[in-house]
Chains A and B, each alone.
Chain A
């Protein structure tokens, strides 16, 4: 129970160790942490670890000021970038204007067609459904006075009817 309690206390103190190392911990809290460090071996090791890592990381030298030429280089790059953007804009400007004109014309045409379509559909009367009965001449209607005796008589009667002057 006590070691569990201790672990909980240690994890709560983790962020304070950072301030303790930087000398930024208020006095009352620094005293409380010191008292804890006297009693807690784990936290003492953690403090040692922090010192070791600070020493190891001092191998990386701080990056020096790049010097007065740096700002000139930046401004030169900005100048190049701005010129390039201006050139791009002036190259595409005629195409852009043409595209806008085309889009405008297409929109007008579409609007006209749409309006015309609506007008025509309003003017047209509703189509009536009518039944047309047309008299079809029947070429097979042959005036036969007497009833044919056989199929040859039928064919002869048709032929006579066709070539009747």
Chain B
């Protein structure tokens, strides 16, 4: 708190008081100020408020479900250690998102996780399964089928850059707004929109090339065999 300018601290305190007057609950800024003074229950409340969104950010970047909780906990631990340096010029959630994104990139680098590359083509059955999911709107049935579908979509995403893949998953699967994604990755909102647009086109092109092409080939082959 020592390195926060006085005018920022004063305006923050005023905003916090007005928020409490409106809702009856302390807002993030008030809790942050308490946490900066060493009140651990205030930080625990902040964890409770943001645990779902932070887990979603981590889940959008990391592929292995079993890593999510551990890395998300690490994010909050880092936030606790450096909360004294948080100057409240941005929202607390934005600051946390940035820590989460950096923590995930560090984790991937340390674990030496390389972008997935798939040599083999999709089988006819896999291609049909995905095409039905996309065009007919069929839902994936049991957990195993859903896992297989996710794996196929990962294959289709594999030639996108890690950042573009992250943007798409955070936007479409985890429901983050374009502005939030921009803040997380340090990008301008328009840049995020254009990159999302191009990443989507690339994913759809891969879908046409690897899925629709395979199902068309198999149906042609089936037709000629019947003749």
- A residues neighboring B (CB under 8 Å): 14-15, 17-19, 22, 46, 48-50, 52-66, 68, 70-71, 73-75, 77-78, 81
CB of B197 within 8 A of CB of A59, answer no
How many B residues face the partner with a CB closer than 8 A?
A: 51
CB of A71 within 8 A of CB of B153, answer no
Chain B residue numbers with a CB within 8 Å of A78 are: 40, 43, 76-77, 80
Query: Top 7 A-B pairs ranked by shortest CB distance?
Result: A49-B204, A63-B59, A57-B172, A60-B173, A15-B193, A18-B193, A53-B200
Given A19-B193, A78-B77, 8 additional A-B pairs, CB 8 A:
A14-B198, A54-B172, A58-B173, A59-B140, A60-B150, A62-B175, A70-B51, A75-B43
Shortest Cβ distance from residue A46 to the other chain B in the assembled complex, whole angstroms: 6
Does B106 belong to the interface (CB within 8 Å)? Answer: no
Contacting residue for A81 out of B77, B156, B196, B200, CB 8 A: B77
Given contacts A65-B55, A66-B69, contact A58 B172 (CB under 8 A): yes
Does B207 belong to the interface (CB within 8 Å)? Answer: yes
Contacting residue for A53 out of B47, B133, B172, CB 8 A: B172
Chain A residue numbers with a CB within 8 Å of B150 are: 59-60
Roughly how many angstroms separate A1 CA and B43 CA in the complex, as a whole number?
61
Roughly how many angstroms separate A18 CA and B199 CA in the complex, as a whole number?
12
Cβ contacts A to B, 16 pairs, < 8 Å: A18-B193, A18-B197, A49-B200, A49-B201, A53-B168, A56-B203, A60-B153, A61-B146, A64-B55, A66-B72, A68-B48, A70-B47, A70-B73, A71-B44, A73-B73, A74-B47
Nearest-CB residue, chain A, relative to B149: A59
Chain A residue numbers with a CB within 8 Å of B190 are: 15
Shortest Cβ distance from residue A105 to the other chain B in the assembled complex, whole angstroms: 32
Contact with A along B109-151 (1 / 0, CB 8 A): 0000000000000000000001001100100100000100110
Roughly how many angstroms separate A48 CA and B173 CA in the complex, as a whole number?
18
